Amino acid sequence: MWAKTMFCFLIVAAVAGLVGCPPPHPPNYPTKPIELKYYATGSWAVSVSAGGYCCDSANHKFDVYYPTNLGANGFMHPILTWGNGTLGSTAQVDFFLRHMASWGFVVVATQDQFTGTGQTILDAAQFMVHANGDPASPFFHKLNVSQIGAIGHSQGAGGAGQALIKSAGLIKTVMPIELPARAWCTLGPNCFEPANLTGGSVFFIDGSADIPISPPTQSQPPAVIGEQSVQAYYDATPSGVRKVKGTLLGPTHNDITGQPDCSHAQFPCVHGVYGYLGYPTAWFMDQLQGDSYAHGAFVSGTGEMFSETTNWEYVASNIP
């Protein structure tokens, strides 16, 4: 038995997948069926237009990730608007945005590198709404303009939240990824304040190793030190707003930029983008495509994310 085990180990090390020895899973590989389904690439082939459309209110161009066969079988594509982190670009999150588009979303991103106020993120969403009504646009009557979500990383996480607040209901849901503690925000009244949310839904995501920027918890109450953690942001979100939070085990601030691993990611990165694929995709499938199977991940107390054997901790939800 020992000899057989060693033989298998050596074969895996040399050429993974041969002689019945499967390659090891990447970090944060899903342990449950819902996450596993949306971790996989979706059924839509993806095209990218880098800087092909103009412009937001600060004169930045837009990058658009979209299903190649737009509107196939009459499908109306929901819209996701992306907010870069400080000095970031869509090229740095190319794997993540392609993954989202493969599930039928049209993803639009301003090239703005300072998106914290949320205005240029909102501009991008409004641009796609206009494109849906423009006979000269390839997106003409291909988009579901009543189903729009916002995603952002770091400064862009706060910006995505601000875009939802400013959107007057146009944006339905937001996903702040590695939202910095309040101490990091220098935008004054333009810092994202979850207490100002009046509708829609929010899914807060952070990595467990991102303690310096986006810690999951804090030792002192927000009344004393302010909102310095994802837990505090979640608690500040009104109960009438549908909300979920979860901390992914292992990643730090820039794992979302994995392509998919850390070899071409921004520093610091521990695991790569893998863990940000499954439940984030399921969230938008639930919130914007009415996917009841995806919904089962987020139900308070009983949803799949609450399982002790997932790659997530500090999970909370008020989703019925």
Q: Where are the domains of the chain?
A: 1-30, 31-317
Task: Judge whether residue 43 has pLDDT over 50.
Answer: yes
Task: Judge whether residue 4 has pLDDT over 70.
Answer: no
What pLDDT, in 10s, does the model give residues 251-292?
A: 999 999 999 999 999 999 999 999 999 999 999 999 999 999
What pLDDT, in 10s, does the model give residues 160-204?
A: 999 999 999 999 999 999 999 999 999 988 999 999 999 999 999
What number is the average pLDDT over the span 117-145?
A: 98
Q: What was the pLDDT predicted at 22?
A: 67
> Which one is predicted more confidently, 15 or 138?
138
Q: What was the pLDDT predicted at 135?
A: 98
Mean pLDDT over the full length of the chain: 94
> Within 13 A of 148's CA, how many CA atoms are on the CB side?
25
What number is the average pLDDT over the span 17-43?
A: 86
Q: What was the pLDDT predicted at 286?
A: 98
Task: Judge whether residue 70 has pLDDT over 90.
Answer: yes
Report pTM. Answer: 0.92
> Within 13 A of 116's CA, how many CA atoms are on the CB side?
18
* CATH architecture for segment(s) 31-317: 3-Layer(aba) Sandwich (3.40)
Q: Are 98 and 65 in contact (CB under 8 A)?
A: yes
Q: What was the pLDDT predicted at 20?
A: 57
What number is the average pLDDT over the span 76-91?
A: 98
Q: Could you tell me what percent of the chain has a pLDDT over 90?
A: 92
Per DSSP, helices labelled H in the chain are: 2-14, 33-39, 94-102, 119-132, 155-166, 222-225, 230-236, 278-289, 292-295
Task: Judge whether residue 15 has pLDDT over 80.
Answer: no
In whole angstroms, give the CA distance from residue 201 to residue 241. Answer: 6
Q: Are 232 and 222 in contact (CB under 8 A)?
A: yes
Of the pLDDT bands very low, low, confident and very high (cuts 50, 70, 90), residue 132 is: very high
